[in-house]
A and B are shown apart, each in its own frame.
Chain A
């Protein structure tokens, strides 16, 4: 971690603010993940399904994140695209125990990747295979295959398993994500 802090310094990114989007189906754990990343005093105790969106702020290393935590409910997914243009990174959350809806996830991902505001940009995408603690959860490899992540050639991407309840895996993902974004801006 220290090393990374130095790295960020070397890259000359001292006080950087970035806008990111948190996407994924409803109930996948987006708001729970964001809540975990927030500083102690900003954390909330119970998380309810998001209606529309919530704007949250947190810091990771020296980078200030403004996260647009979108609602994943079917009827609000069409509204995601209003926020594509200005975002500099996407965290895409998948409920890895929800095998039934993994096909829906793939559809939504395809729509996202083909969107004119996304398709040509080298925007980093971090996939959280969330709820890894649950018994029937799929492995990251399996999910990557089902979603066809290998097709993504022109954007840096990374997938890691996570448990938003205790924070497991979030560290690894965020580390990669921050670095990918910083490199992008350089």
Chain B
């Protein structure tokens, strides 16, 4: 009843009745639960408030939760059905926070076996949330019965609850496998689906068991369409896994694929769609295999049901890049959908056509979109933006039309994510296509004149500072930037000051003007803005080229959290020697590599793909913390953590023991962090080490084994090596063996059977120590100037050699592999290659461990008969580093 009332209130627009709840007051009210007799209406309302608070993210302390929980147990005396069901919800929410929650075990088992059907399923869910492994005996028998109960809600609840419990205790489910098997034959569509889900979950790491399960189930038709959909997904995974293992692409005759095809003729539309969706998403399908699935989608495209049309066009949209031919087959239908009254369908149809269409159709389609772009939601506008981005990359000549369109969108109303996606797209276009640069910058300038999103304005100002000085007419940007100083909030003003300083540093003819403006900014009301203005003004006034280079043009490249930590430490223990910047590790540079780019094009929203980069930035900092906790002695190593490489696997991912290695380079030491996971439930590993064949020149300094590694645990072995005195020896490959002693144990309890263990070992893949492990990327915005200076600089060494990269077929491929191999940062945007050119020059900048600057120029040429040839020139302060680079490439 309480629910009903709330709903009505909402409709009347009186707002949320729970808006301003106060935790303490609500918990105080919960004392009402102790009253006799229970007032169900009142208590239900209070419980709703508690649940609302918890779901809003309000944190309850252990004592608060326990008090509320025990008060709630007293509500079991009420026979009010609604109240009881609220109590179940309350139990579930509080079960992780309160203490002694097992107190309600008997009450819940009574409800789950009782006569009141409305209680049973919900009681099971609550019961499983309070039960841990130690209490499992108390409920085992009841669960057995519940799984095969005649009431399907009860049966489903039991199966799903067990599924959730396996997250904490994977082995627990074993005691109910027989019952779950029985539930798989249920007449009820949900029970069958849930039972299959659970059975698959138990077996999914065992390919053989999955194969058996699939073989059994594909023989007959399951009653439940949901279970059938699930089976289709399992089958696809199996096909992909088997392909990956055997490398065999000719699987169209396999019984598994046959099964998918039969599902295309299933009587349920859901199943038919699932099968079609699955087939077009399989990797490496040929046109013949695809055809039946595509015709199904085509059929759906003209269905009277909007859901089917939507599903079909969405699927086609997603595979447009990978299977253009499949999509073109549906072109006619897609054209018809452009005018679909459902705007989501229309948007997807147009953007699909854009992805596959020819250059000539672009104008027409863009006009179509323009007619309704204002009617669709931000989410679909982003789909449109992504499609435009893809088009710009595909048809660079169309950039004018598309850019106009984007700028119009930019002027419209819209949320931050939408605006950011447009700005991102414009930035990408500018980066990919030099011809579009001036127009693109102009659009962005116009946009920041009226931009409500601070973060976006800051980004664009940064871009203007970077690109503006190199444009044909830098002076015109200054006005836009200076306007920000007058009109915006402090954050934007500070960004504008920094952007202006770039013009001062790079355009001598503008220096005087910039200095005047910066002088004005020194009167700003905000500390940060004033500080920046003073800083830039005095550096520019010094006319010292080196200073300007290091402190204005080149961004600060050290890791900010490390810098903060080091400065803090320096302040605590001030020393007479000045603070040494070179001891701070460099920050990880995040690059947008081509594959990630391609991924982003495929997924409609750009948000997903950008996550890993954010993680990468945080990597060095968090590694340092972890390392110094595990290995206090790293404080005594010279320098600090210089670079942590991305993890590499030393085993296959689904073996008994999984080992992953992270290499951490210091100035003259290499720390190997070997993460070992034990995936065997019947083994306890002790004294786990990794034995290395120490390569020539390297010296083993220290090794810390893992004393004890139980099932499902992951811990690290640390090995400290000293790099060889001769740099030439540092790039090498190291044999490795995992050594440990095993105690067999009981899989359910994890207790060892006996105290006696036996020694065992496990071969690992060779560990490669590469050049890139010892090299950090740095941004050099004006690389070419530095390169020329280095030529005349006495302290710089130069080495040059010519190589034939016979395995490479294209310049793109060569560039990607050189960047990857050297671990250096491409400069002057030289990693972007105009397609079809036969020669190219790549510039790279980096720092070798120990703080040695390295610049590389690689001139590449491709010819049909010899492949790619490369002339490589290395300039560095260290002759050894020059030598190392040229010798390891050869």
Residues of A that sit less than 8 Å from B by CB = 17-19, 50-55, 57, 66, 71, 76, 79, 82-83, 85-86
Taking a contact as CB atoms under 8 Å apart, the answer to whether B106 and A54 are in contact is yes
Instruction: Give me 12 other A-B pairs in contact (C-beta within 8 A), A51-B135, A52-B103 excluded.
Output: A17-B36, A17-B37, A51-B138, A52-B104, A53-B106, A54-B110, A55-B74, A55-B76, A55-B77, A66-B36, A66-B77, A83-B74
A–B pairs, 26, beta carbons within 8 Å: A17-B36, A19-B77, A51-B105, A51-B106, A51-B109, A51-B135, A52-B103, A52-B104, A52-B105, A52-B106, A52-B107, A53-B73, A53-B104, A53-B107, A54-B106, A54-B107, A54-B110, A55-B74, A57-B77, A66-B36, A66-B77, A71-B106, A76-B103, A82-B70, A85-B34, A86-B74
Residues of B with C-beta under 8 A to A50: 106
How far is the CB of A168 from the nearest CB of chain B, in Å?
Answer: 26
B359-384 contact mask (Cβ, 8 Å, vs A): 1 or 0 = 00000000000000000000000000
Chain B interface residue bracket vs A: 20 to 34
Q: How far is the CA of A82 from the CA of B138 in the complex (A)?
A: 23
Which residue on A lies nearest to B141, using beta carbons?
A48
Residues of B with C-beta under 8 A to A19: 36, 77
The 5 tightest CB contacts between A and B, nearest first, are: A52-B103, A51-B105, A55-B76, A82-B70, A66-B77
Interface residue B596 (Cβ < 8 Å from any Cβ of A): no
Q: How far is the CA of A17 from the CA of B73 in the complex (A)?
A: 18
**Which one of A54, A71, A83 has the highest number of Cβ atoms from chain B below 10 Å of its Cβ?**
A54
How far is the CB of B138 from the nearest CB of chain A, in Å?
Answer: 5
Q: How far is the CA of A53 from the CA of B100 in the complex (A)?
A: 12
Q: How far is the CA of A54 from the CA of B123 in the complex (A)?
A: 14
Q: A86 touches which one: B36, B102, B109 (CB < 8 A)?
A: B36
| Chain B, range 111-149, C-beta contacts under 8 Å to A | 135, 138
Q: How far is the CA of A82 from the CA of B76 in the complex (A)?
A: 14
Q: How far is the CA of A33 from the CA of B292 in the complex (A)?
A: 70
Residues of B with C-beta under 8 A to A76: 103
Which residue on B lies nearest to A18, using beta carbons?
B36
Q: How far is the CA of A66 from the CA of B74 in the complex (A)?
A: 10
Residues of B with C-beta under 8 A to A51: 102, 105-106, 109, 135, 138
Q: How far is the CA of A18 from the CA of B73 in the complex (A)?
A: 17
Which residue on A lies nearest to B102, using beta carbons?
A52
| Chain B, range 23-70, C-beta contacts under 8 Å to A | 34-37, 70
Q: How far is the CA of A17 from the CA of B110 in the complex (A)?
A: 22
How far is the CB of A42 from the nearest CB of chain B, in Å?
Answer: 10
Residues of B that sit less than 8 Å from A by CB = 34-37, 70, 73-74, 76-77, 100, 102-107, 109-110, 135, 138
Residues of A with C-beta under 8 A to B109: 51
Which residue on B lies nearest to A64, using beta carbons?
B37
Which residue on A lies nearest to B99, using beta carbons?
A79
Which residue on A lies nearest to B100, using beta carbons?
A79
How far is the CB of B127 from the nearest CB of chain A, in Å?
Answer: 10
Which residue on B lies nearest to A78, using beta carbons?
B100
How far is the CB of A28 from the nearest CB of chain B, in Å?
Answer: 16
How far is the CB of B316 from the nearest CB of chain A, in Å?
Answer: 55
Taking a contact as CB atoms under 8 Å apart, the answer to whether A79 and B103 are in contact is yes
Q: How far is the CA of A28 from the CA of B110 in the complex (A)?
A: 20
**Which one of B37, B103, B110 has the highest number of Cβ atoms from chain A below 10 Å of its Cβ?**
B103
Residues of A with C-beta under 8 A to B73: 53, 82
How far is the CB of B142 from the nearest CB of chain A, in Å?
Answer: 10
How far is the CB of A100 from the nearest CB of chain B, in Å?
Answer: 25
**Which one of A50, A55, A66, A86 has the highest number of Cβ atoms from chain B below 10 Å of its Cβ?**
A55
Residues of A with C-beta under 8 A to B37: 17
Q: How far is the CA of A53 from the CA of B35 in the complex (A)?
A: 18
Which residue on A lies nearest to B138, using beta carbons?
A51
Q: How far is the CA of A76 from the CA of B105 in the complex (A)?
A: 12
Q: How far is the CA of A55 from the CA of B77 in the complex (A)?
A: 6
Residues of B with C-beta under 8 A to A17: 36-37
Which residue on A lies nearest to B137, using beta carbons?
A51
Residues of A with C-beta under 8 A to B107: 52-55
Residues of B with C-beta under 8 A to A52: 102-107
How far is the CB of A96 from the nearest CB of chain B, in Å?
Answer: 25
Residues of B with C-beta under 8 A to A82: 70, 73
Residues of B with C-beta under 8 A to A71: 106
Residues of A with C-beta under 8 A to B138: 51
How far is the CB of A117 from the nearest CB of chain B, in Å?
Answer: 12
Which residue on A lies nearest to B110, using beta carbons?
A54
Residues of A with C-beta under 8 A to B106: 50-54, 71
**Which one of A52, A54, A55, A86 has the highest number of Cβ atoms from chain B below 10 Å of its Cβ?**
A52
Residues of B with C-beta under 8 A to A55: 74, 76-77, 107
Q: How far is the CA of A53 from the CA of B109 in the complex (A)?
A: 11
How far is the CB of B42 from the nearest CB of chain A, in Å?
Answer: 16
Q: How far is the CA of A82 from the CA of B69 in the complex (A)?
A: 11
Which residue on A lies nearest to B131, using beta carbons?
A51
Residues of A with C-beta under 8 A to B74: 55, 83, 86
Q: How far is the CA of A82 from the CA of B110 in the complex (A)?
A: 21
Residues of B with C-beta under 8 A to A53: 73, 103-104, 106-107
Q: How far is the CA of A54 from the CA of B76 in the complex (A)?
A: 8
How far is the CB of A37 from the nearest CB of chain B, in Å?
Answer: 15
How far is the CB of B204 from the nearest CB of chain A, in Å?
Answer: 33
Which residue on B lies nearest to A54, using beta carbons?
B106
Q: How far is the CA of A124 from the CA of B170 in the complex (A)?
A: 49
How far is the CB of B668 from the nearest CB of chain A, in Å?
Answer: 57
Q: How far is the CA of A54 from the CA of B107 in the complex (A)?
A: 5
**Which one of B106, B135, B138 has the highest number of Cβ atoms from chain A below 10 Å of its Cβ?**
B106
How far is the CB of A71 from the nearest CB of chain B, in Å?
Answer: 7
Q: How far is the CA of A50 from the CA of B449 in the complex (A)?
A: 72
How far is the CB of B141 from the nearest CB of chain A, in Å?
Answer: 9
Which residue on B lies nearest to A86, using beta carbons?
B34
Q: How far is the CA of A76 from the CA of B135 in the complex (A)?
A: 13
Q: How far is the CA of A55 from the CA of B108 in the complex (A)?
A: 10
Q: How far is the CA of A134 from the CA of B36 in the complex (A)?
A: 38
How far is the CB of B71 from the nearest CB of chain A, in Å?
Answer: 9
Q: How far is the CA of A52 from the CA of B105 in the complex (A)?
A: 6
Residues of A with C-beta under 8 A to B104: 52-53
Residues of A with C-beta under 8 A to B36: 17-19, 66, 86
Residues of A with C-beta under 8 A to B105: 51-52
Q: How far is the CA of A71 from the CA of B138 in the complex (A)?
A: 13
Q: How far is the CA of A71 from the CA of B74 in the complex (A)?
A: 15
How far is the CB of B309 from the nearest CB of chain A, in Å?
Answer: 54
Which residue on A lies nearest to B36, using beta carbons?
A19
How far is the CB of B67 from the nearest CB of chain A, in Å?
Answer: 9
Q: How far is the CA of A17 from the CA of B34 in the complex (A)?
A: 14
Q: How far is the CA of A53 from the CA of B107 in the complex (A)?
A: 6
Q: How far is the CA of A76 from the CA of B106 in the complex (A)?
A: 12
Residues of B with C-beta under 8 A to A86: 34-36, 74
Which residue on B lies nearest to A57, using beta carbons?
B77
How far is the CB of B36 from the nearest CB of chain A, in Å?
Answer: 5
How far is the CB of B808 from the nearest CB of chain A, in Å?
Answer: 69
**Which one of A18, A57, A82 has the highest number of Cβ atoms from chain B below 10 Å of its Cβ?**
A82
Which residue on A lies nearest to B66, using beta carbons?
A82
Which residue on A lies nearest to B139, using beta carbons?
A51
How far is the CB of B34 from the nearest CB of chain A, in Å?
Answer: 5
How far is the CB of A108 from the nearest CB of chain B, in Å?
Answer: 18
Which residue on A lies nearest to B114, using beta carbons?
A44
Which residue on B lies nearest to A50, using beta carbons?
B106
How far is the CB of B135 from the nearest CB of chain A, in Å?
Answer: 7
Which residue on B lies nearest to A85, using beta carbons?
B34
Q: How far is the CA of A17 from the CA of B35 in the complex (A)?
A: 12
Residues of B with C-beta under 8 A to A57: 77
Which residue on A lies nearest to B73, using beta carbons?
A53
Q: How far is the CA of A2 from the CA of B77 in the complex (A)?
A: 29
Residues of A with C-beta under 8 A to B34: 85-86
Q: How far is the CA of A68 from the CA of B34 in the complex (A)?
A: 13
Q: How far is the CA of A79 from the CA of B73 in the complex (A)?
A: 12
Q: How far is the CA of A50 from the CA of B109 in the complex (A)?
A: 10
**Which one of B35, B100, B135 has the highest number of Cβ atoms from chain A below 10 Å of its Cβ?**
B100
Q: How far is the CA of A129 from the CA of B104 in the complex (A)?
A: 27
Residues of B with C-beta under 8 A to A54: 106-107, 110
